[in-house]
Amino acid sequence: MSWMTMWAGAHPVYLAQARGASVVDVDGNEYADFCLGDTGAMAAHSPEPTMAALRARAGITTMLPTEDAAWVGEELGRRFGVPLWQFSLTATDANRWLLRVCRQVTGRPKVLLFNWCYHGTVDEAFVTLGDDGVVRSRAGNVGPAGDPAQTTRLAEFNDAGSVDAALSHGDVACVLMEPALTNIGIVLPEPGFLDAVRAACTRAGALRLPGGLRLGRVHPRFLTPHVSTIAIGGIAAIWFAVLFPLSENFVYDSLTSLSLMIAFYYALTGFACAIFYRHELTKSVKNFLFIGVGPVVGGTILGYLFFKAIDEYRDPGASYSGSEIFGVAVPVVLGVGLLILGGVLSVLWRLGKHDQFFGRRRETVDPEVATGAKLAVAAVPEEVA
């Protein structure tokens, strides 16, 4: 391979055999294999179960799957909780496939990598940062398909600030990273760095590869987020278990205030849907009805019910506990107060430059997704004209 011309010796090592953590060259010299990034030394060379499986399949040269594929897919699903798997022959192919899937899912064009990383022969990875901080094609990158700066953003390993800065543009589909940087020696992550990358990805809406984000896991069928669903359910259970014995009426008042908040934010969601997808409403009758008329009508009804409920529930006599604050019943004070608090926190969050939570771009929606004809994977964003 061409990169072997850069080896320190006069010529590359020609292999005769490998077993365990040792390799033997054609001259009979035995080496301890520390090339954990490029060989099977981490799991040992020539393990007998693997060799037996290879011998059993020797001579089968079609591209069709064998019965082993089903077992492997099920076992991977059992171990990692991911229901679908794409098989590839090399790490480069696996990376290329993942990058395509991430771009398709997020609708974003770029990939975030780390300066001096190694990801096989993935075109996006043959880049480095210049002294001016600009992404440039790496020296020795032969015949690049295009300008890597158009496909890749770079951050410095162990620098959480540079990760946030790269993700702040809102155009990164995923972060492809090694658990430890291996292309310039072994650079281990500093304590907290991997968690910081995971948190940055969550804030920016980017995917992180490899490894699943446990806080971002969703149910494969019902598409509900594991952690937030369990956390909210747990909080509700504790709230009920603690307060119900103390004051049954206060629990009922808190549920009334919750209904006020639900009506309010679902009403806003209906109007927000029509406004956000306003450029898509005239593209088809289905879009107009299901993305425009339906949400606006629903939002109007819920908005009416919200104000109607406030008018009725503000009387302390209409509440379960009969309690009041400044002459207003507890359910209204609690519900409206929390809504106002949420608005204040949103403003503060926006002033804190967390722009990734406030979309600056419109998105297009598949009409078949809007009508429920097929499952939505992700909307595809495009720049507002």
Instruction: Output the domain CATH number for residue 112.
Output: 3.40.640.10
Burial class for 358, CB neighbours closer than 10 Å (0-12, 13-18, 19+): exposed
Give yes or no: residues 137 and 255 share one domain: no
What value does the mean pLDDT take over residues 1-7? 72
Confidence of residue 114 (pLDDT cuts 50, 70, 90): very high
Question: Quick one: average pLDDT of 277-282?
Answer: 85
Sequence-distant (6+) residues with CB within 8 A of 250 are 243, 320, 321, 323, 330
- Altogether, the residues listed in the chain come to a count of 385
**Would the pLDDT of 319 be above 70?**
yes
**Residue 309 maps to a domain:** yes
Residue 211 pLDDT = 37
Question: Are 207 and 140 in the same domain?
Answer: yes
Instruction: Establish if 223 belongs to a structural domain.
Output: no
Q: Which of the four pLDDT bands, split at 50, 70 and 90, describes residue 83?
A: confident
Q: How many domains, in total, are found in the chain? A: 3
Same domain, yes or no: 92 and 211: yes
- Decide if pLDDT at 327 tops 50: yes
Instruction: Give 42-51 pLDDT, tens digit per residue.
Output: 778 888 888 8
Q: Extract the tokens encoding 231.
A: 């956390």
Alpha-carbon distance of 125 to 89, in angstroms, equals 19
The band of 220, judged by pLDDT with boundaries at 50, 70 and 90, is low
* pLDDT score at 364: 44
Contacts with 311 (C-beta within 8 Å, 6 or more apart), sequence order: none
**Dihedrals φ, ψ of 172, to 5°?**
-95, 125
* Cα separation, 100 vs 109, whole angstroms: 10
3-state secondary structure of 138: coil
What was the pLDDT predicted at 382? Answer: 35
**Residues 132 and 212 placed together within one structural domain of the fold:** yes
Q: Give dist(CA 374, CA 311) in Å, integer.
A: 41
Q: Are residues 211 and 334 in the same domain?
A: no
Query: What is the mean pLDDT of the segment spanning 16-45?
Result: 83
**120, two tokens:** 């096989």
pLDDT of residue 383 exceeding 60? no
pLDDT at residue 16 tops 90? yes
CA dihedral 265, 266, 272, 276 (to 10 degrees): 120
Strands 127-129 and 110-114, by their bridges, are unpaired
**Could you tell me if residue 72 is inside a domain?**
no
What gap in Å lies between CA 192 and CA 161, rounded to an integer? Answer: 13
**How far is 225 from 73, CA to CA, in rounded Å?**
23
Return the structure tokens found at 70.
């089903």
What global pTM score does this model have? 0.52
For residue 321, the SS3 value is: coil
pLDDT at 37 (0 to 100)? 59
Give the residue with greater pLDDT, 228 vs 259: 259
The mean pLDDT of the chain is 79
Say if residue 384's pLDDT is above 80: no
Residue 77 is assigned to a structural domain of this protein: no
Which of 37-51, 122-136, 222-236 has the highest mean predicted lDDT (pLDDT)? Answer: 122-136
- The token pair that represents 113 in the structure block: 């990598």
Better pLDDT: 370 or 338: 338
Query: Is 74 a member of any domain?
Result: no
Coil, strand or helix at 182: coil
Burial of 40 (C-beta count, 10 Å sphere; 0-12/13-18/19+): middle
Q: Quote the strand ranges of 256-346, DSSP E.
A: 324-325, 328-329
- Rounded to an integer, the average pLDDT of 204-210 is 71
Whether 78 is covered by a domain: the verdict is no
Q: Give yes or no: residues 212 and 257 share one domain.
A: no
**Predicted confidence (pLDDT) at residue 346 exceeds the cutoff of 90:** no
| Cα separation values, 1 from 6, 12, 14, Å | 10, 9, 12
* Domain boundaries, position 41: 2-57
Amino acid at site 292: G
Q: Are 196 and 160 in contact (CB under 8 A)?
A: yes
